[in-house]
Structure 1
Amino acid sequence: MQLVAAIVGPFKSISQPQTVPIEPSVTVFVGMNEAGKTVFLQALEKSDDAVGLAAFDPIEDYPRKDLSAYLREHKQKPSTVTTLTYRLSKGELDELNGALHTNLPVDFEFKIARDYDNKLNMYLAVDEKPVLATLRETAGLSSDTKAALASVVAVRSIPGALAGLSLTEKDKAWLEVIQERVEKARRESVVESEVRDWLQPRVPKFAFFGEYALLPSKVNLADLAERVQQARGLKAQSQRPPVRAAQKQIFPQHLGVLALLRMADISIDDFTKSGGYEPLKARLEAVSIRLTDEIFEFWKQNEDLEVEVDIKTDPEDVAPFNEGPNLYLRIKNRRHRGVSTPFHQRSRGFTWFFSFLVWFDSVQHQLAASDESRDRSVILLLDEPGLNLHALAQADFLRYIDELSRRHQILYTTHSPFMVNSDRLHQVRVVEDRIKTGTVVSDNVTNSDERTIFPLQAALGWSLAQNLFISERNLLVEGPSDLLFLKAMSSVLEAQGRIGLREDVTIVPAGGLDKVITFVALLGASGLKLAVLHDYQGRPEQKLEDLVRQKLVAPKALLDASQFREVSSVGKRGRPTDIEDLLSPSLYLDYFNKAFEKQLDGRRIAEIDLPPGDRILHRIERYLADADIKLRPNGGFNHYSVAAALAGAPPLLVDSETAARFEELFRTINGLLV
């Protein structure tokens, strides 16, 4: 189950509710200090905290300038603070439809709203007709019962519809099950109530980790035990919100130590028992070794570090460390003959990494131990995770985030360009603190302050500096295969005395349509001449249309491949088209067969072999799937390989239709970039 959108506000610096789209794997929040990045994550955390320690409190969370007015109406009408939209995976949807006999569509979504009184409201729409159809088909029902069910439009109405009928034993048993469902349902729609009950325990929880949650270098275990005991008592006595009393005793650094002890299967009481030092230390050391090994799968800056755990008393220390045993964490550097230093004095990046692993393991342990949360996933909220890492170490951490995102959605904040994947700028949300409106979160960078989008410009600039040169005239395309096709066909046409692409135009493969859009938005106003050529999916690209409305690019500078597929109607959009479709199918297949000659083992694919369709790439991929031909493990084929084969040995001549299409394309581009 995935979070697809979040409406947050009013909450702290977010004065007005605003909708923020969330990416399926990773969403990055970029903005200046104090812009409100952390505030957004905190709102999500309090919506459904995985560890049960965060809750909304109007005194603490409602925008202060409006607090007095709001408190007068809070008890009677608590304000909604977050509304979260979720979408089920295909597997979950199939399971739900199979279990409840519903027919929810593939794009089924539902919303969960949380108010300032911390009550939850779920919003969804469910059609009962498929369920009723299944019930009518129940084997063994009498003809009278089936006739009565024909006019029923809701499950709740079934008992009334059958009242007064002479029922068979099978009818009675069946009706008893229906009545139980009706009595159990807490809403008018029985099926909707059942869907809610199915969804509720599967909704992901949020887990927030920030700088303040780092493990300490030492903690007094007697003091920690007393704090835990007092927190339990205060929590039991406290009214709303119930978690704040416990927070007065247990601070984030204490939670980290408790998590470490839990991982080692040690309770606080174990330290008061005599003769327990060696077993306890052995278990703690085993956990620290395992965690250190996990870190070094991604930490490549210094692999000679290890975490050392010790337990001892120190009567000479200051209170509370002079009473009873203390737990010490130190980092040993084998590169310097095993010299060790207190945990907090070493690399901030390494201590963050270690503390995060301890915390995250604890969160997973708590969810696994809860019957209610056993099937829940966790959405990770990371506040400035790479703040203290070297630029190359941040690249290592991005790999770690990618690994985590295979199992969990991740939302993190940053203002570092090295914590933004330059080939995934569509994942970025910019956060600004505007004078009149407060914190604003948006996926539109075009109207953002230049200081806010600086990390994006730096990330993009770093990528461009490594991969290409920018000239005055630039044609933006989606990928490197497009560049190869255009370069090769320009050379072929020029050799035939026809029009090719002018030499002073630089073809820029941006790495996908989203990055093309971001490139135009960030650099289109910098005096460069830009044109865009993209594949056409059968409908206008809304984000490109938005760039036109914002006057960042001229309408005529947005070109798609379908405009050149029919030479008789150049400039008019037609059927879905990739740049590859400007080549004749036979020409493209000739180079496809050359590119994958070894994998095809002598087989040559002709156009007559392919299923019908508009796009040569899709037709080939469908053919490969139907014929069970695997050119790569995950299916399909590498489009770049075909482009490289054509660029490496371009044809001396091409058919007239192919030549005419590309000539019209080059003529149009040359005219735009004069």
Structure 2
Amino acid sequence: MKLTQAQVTDFQSITDSNSFEIGDVTCLVGKNEAGKTALLKALYRLRPYIPTDNKYDVTDDYPRREVEDYRYDVERGARQPAHVVQAVYIIEEEDLEPVHAELGTQALSSYEVTLYKGYDNQSTFTLNVDGQAALQYLLSHAQLPPDVSAILTKSTSVDGALQSLAGQETTTEVNRLNEILTNVQQNGWSKYVYSKFISPRLPKFLYFDEYFQMRGFENVEALQQRVAQNSLLSSDHPMLGLIEFARLDLSQLINSHRTQELVNKLEGAGNFLTRKMLRYWSQNKHLQMRFDVRPARPGDPEGMRSGTNVWTGVYDSHHMVTTNLGTRSRGFVWFFSFLAWYSQIQRRNEPLILLLDEPGLTLHGKAQEDLLRYFEEELQPYHQVIYTTHSPFMVDPRHFDRVRIVQDRGIDATEPLPPEEDGTKVLTEVLDASGDSLFPLQGALGYELYQTLFVGPNSLVVEGVSDLIYLQVMSALLEEEGRTGLSPKWTVTPVGGSDKVPTFVALLGAQRGMKVATFIDIQNKDQQSIENLFKRKLLKKNHVLTFADFTGTSEADIEDMFEPDFYIRLINEEYKSALSKPLKSSDLNSHLPRMITRLDAYFAKSPLKGSASFSHFRPARYLAEHIGTLKPTISPSTLDRFDEAFKRLNALL
């Protein structure tokens, strides 16, 4: 089951966060004090991994400016306790199997369940169940004698079915039906399905921040006492996770029957965590994790001078020295503490959503890159991850679609804002964000562009490298003929896909002195996002150019700037060895609006030989490498289209 949407209201700095989408990995970006932590804590208390953290408290959590008005209204019955979180989950196929087995495939009217929880600390839900379909399936698939089944299947209500069962011989199957139907009669179909099938599979939230970091040493007896009194410190959870991961419990640390068994288990846990750690820790490859259990000594730290102590050491094989975990860098301690706790939790195979508050905050930029890789390879395949950051290096430039901007305009405003605009907001549209909120994305973008070297004071944003090649080739060709080529003042900036164009334009356009234009593909589904570039005054309308502006069609890629037969020739030449026969225009579906969609449809039915696959880049490269041979076959109308485009682009400089 996956969380797909959330909304937080009336919690700390949040009046109404807006509803925002959540994916496999969601990155909440915003400056300090924007309310990122409040969002995570509100979500966490909906279904916390640590059961004692499940309360919303009016005194601590309701927005302080309005809290007394709220209390008064609730006390006099003028309003109900406020909701804090509304969370929408999608019910996945594996979650549906037990529902379908008992109640049939038509039992659920939709595959969404919405959870609500607020200051009354009672969880409620909405789940659409087709009770009639569920009842008919349940009755018709019951293992009963034919005569009993015939009577029962005539029932059109739960009450009627129970009455029909009342006169039947008591069997295991009759008892099963009676139990189900009595439950439904008392609670309704939605509550029955939710309680039996949905609730047990809903993921809990695991929250982790700097306060969960291990100290590197603990007194076992004191830890036992905190466990017994249900008064664990945040830092206890990773330590307990580590001990459980070593297949030990606290009593075994004190009363181990065999020393070597204890040593072996601690050593095994240390070796596993060392391997895992070093895979994602590029800062020092000479580290080994070591754990030790010893009787307390008079000179040990306060609170550890009696009983038994457990110590977490880090051995550096380069410097040949062991130091306590707590003396290592804060970034290392954070990473290891999370790894220790998560490794133990992972063994339980529980459905979890990970909430990571400012992960890797004290890590070097390269180590933050390692942490993102850890998220991608170790966490995301098993759990949804929602994390907060204000570091550019914790924003993955390959996945700007994961970013949600968190901002609170009120903390910068000199005058009070209208209530609907005040407080922490989550923005999914980057074009609405303030400069401060965009800063981490600008940093991530800057780092990415620095590595590609495709940025300058006049940036022409295109989708991919193939667009860059076509523009360079056709510009040179036109200039040879004394016509207009693309001005060298333009730096053509490929951004890696149409979904990245708005983000790159927003971030580039925010730079002082930067002139930005686009020359991009257009499909019907892209129309709104392209119009937003100028409707939101990010670019002037005449700076947003699409290939359709020059092909006279409603949709167009750069490949449509060429005549169809010419582009098919590029395909035939470049993929000669992979085609079963030369491609002809008549082989393609002319009803599809663009050349690329026609080719995709064709190759879906007639795949290329071997491991070859169609890509935009290879025909562009072939044109660049063979332009001398191909130049005479390029039509005058193609040259005219590129000539007109270059003139319009150059006029913007």
TM-score normalised according to structure 1 size? 0.82
Partner of 2:269: 287
Is 2:253 the partner of 1:271? yes
Are the counterparts in 2 of residues 51 and 363 from structure 1 also a CA contact under 8 Å? no
Is 2:297 the partner of 1:314? yes
Cα 1:481–1:177, aligned 2, differ >3 Å: closer, same or farther? farther
**Aligned partner letter, 1:380:** L
Instruction: List per-residue Cα deviations over 1:294-317 (Å, max 9, x = no partner).
Output: 111221221101111111121333
Aligned-partner SS, 2:280: coil
Question: In structure 1, what is the Cα distance between the partners aligned to 2:234 and 2:74?
Answer: 30
Cα 1:218–1:146, aligned 2, differ >3 Å: closer, same or farther? closer
Question: In structure 1, what is the Cα distance between the partners aligned to 2:519 and 2:108?
Answer: 34
Partner of 1:344: 326
Partner of 1:430: 405
Aligned-partner SS, 2:51: coil
Is 2:623 the partner of 1:646? yes
Partner of 1:36: 35
| Pick aligned residue for 2:114 from 111, 114, 124 | 111
Alignment of 1:109-188 (within 5 A): 109-126=112-129, 159=161, 182-185=181-184
Alignment of 1:547-562 (within 5 A): 547-562=533-548
Partner of 1:237: none
**Aligned partner letter, 2:87:** L
Q: CA RMSD in A?
A: 3.8
Is 2:590 the partner of 1:590? no
Are the counterparts in 1 of residues 404 and 427 from structure 2 also a CA contact under 8 Å? yes
Are the counterparts in 2 of residues 277 and 311 from structure 1 also a CA contact under 8 Å? no
**Aligned partner letter, 1:564:** F
Aligned-partner SS, 1:9: strand
Question: In structure 2, what is the Cα distance between the partners aligned to 1:21 and 1:116?
Answer: 22
**Aligned partner letter, 1:412:** Y
Deviates more, 1:96-105 or 1:302-311: 96-105
Aligned-partner SS, 1:19: coil
Partner of 2:314: 331
Are the counterparts in 1 of residues 253 and 293 from structure 2 also a CA contact under 8 Å? no
Cα 1:310–1:173, aligned 2, differ >3 Å: closer, same or farther? closer
- Deviation for aligned residue 1:656: 5.0
Question: What is the percent sequence identity of the aligned residues?
Answer: 33
**Aligned partner letter, 1:37:** K
Cα 1:497–1:503, aligned 2, differ >3 Å: closer, same or farther? same
Is 2:584 the partner of 1:606? yes
| Pick aligned residue for 2:594 from 592, 604, 615 | 615
- Deviation for aligned residue 1:72: 4.3
Task: Say how many residue pairs are matched.
Answer: 627
**Aligned partner letter, 1:604:** P
Cα 1:101–1:545, aligned 2, differ >3 Å: closer, same or farther? farther
Deviates more, 1:316-325 or 1:447-456: 447-456
Cα 1:468–1:380, aligned 2, differ >3 Å: closer, same or farther? same
Partner of 1:410: 385
**Aligned partner letter, 1:464:** L
TM-score normalised according to structure 2 size? 0.84
Question: In structure 1, what is the Cα distance between the partners aligned to 2:291 and 2:636?
Answer: 76
- Deviation for aligned residue 1:552: 1.6
Cα 1:464–1:431, aligned 2, differ >3 Å: closer, same or farther? same
Question: In structure 1, what is the Cα distance between the partners aligned to 2:444 and 2:401?
Answer: 13
Partner of 2:419: none
Partner of 2:558: 579
Partner of 1:443: 428
Question: In structure 1, what is the Cα distance between the partners aligned to 2:194 and 2:48?
Answer: 23
Alignment of 1:356-371 (within 5 A): 356-365=338-347, 367-368=348-349
Partner of 2:3: 3
Question: In structure 2, what is the Cα distance between the partners aligned to 1:640 and 1:317?
Answer: 65
Cα 1:108–1:647, aligned 2, differ >3 Å: closer, same or farther? farther
| Pick aligned residue for 1:532 from 509, 518, 525 | 518
Cα 1:94–1:545, aligned 2, differ >3 Å: closer, same or farther? farther
Partner of 1:240: none
Instruction: List per-residue Cα deviations over 1:198-241 (Å, max 9, x = no partner).
Output: 33233222111111111122111111112212x2xxxxxxxxxx
Deviates more, 1:623-632 or 1:99-108: 99-108
Consecutive unaligned residues in structure 1, runs of 5 or more: 232-245, 369-373
| Pick aligned residue for 1:476 from 439, 461, 466 | 461
Question: In structure 1, what is the Cα distance between the partners aligned to 2:84 and 2:96?
Answer: 28
Question: In structure 2, what is the Cα distance between the partners aligned to 1:625 and 1:105?
Answer: 34
Are the counterparts in 2 of residues 536 and 562 from structure 1 also a CA contact under 8 Å? yes
**Aligned partner letter, 1:605:** L
Aligned-partner SS, 1:24: coil
- Deviation for aligned residue 1:92: 5.5
Aligned-partner SS, 1:331: strand
Partner of 1:463: 448
- Deviation for aligned residue 1:610: 3.9
Is 2:241 the partner of 1:262? no
Alignment of 1:369-380 (within 5 A): 376=351, 378-380=352-354
Question: In structure 1, what is the Cα distance between the partners aligned to 2:250 and 2:226?
Answer: 11
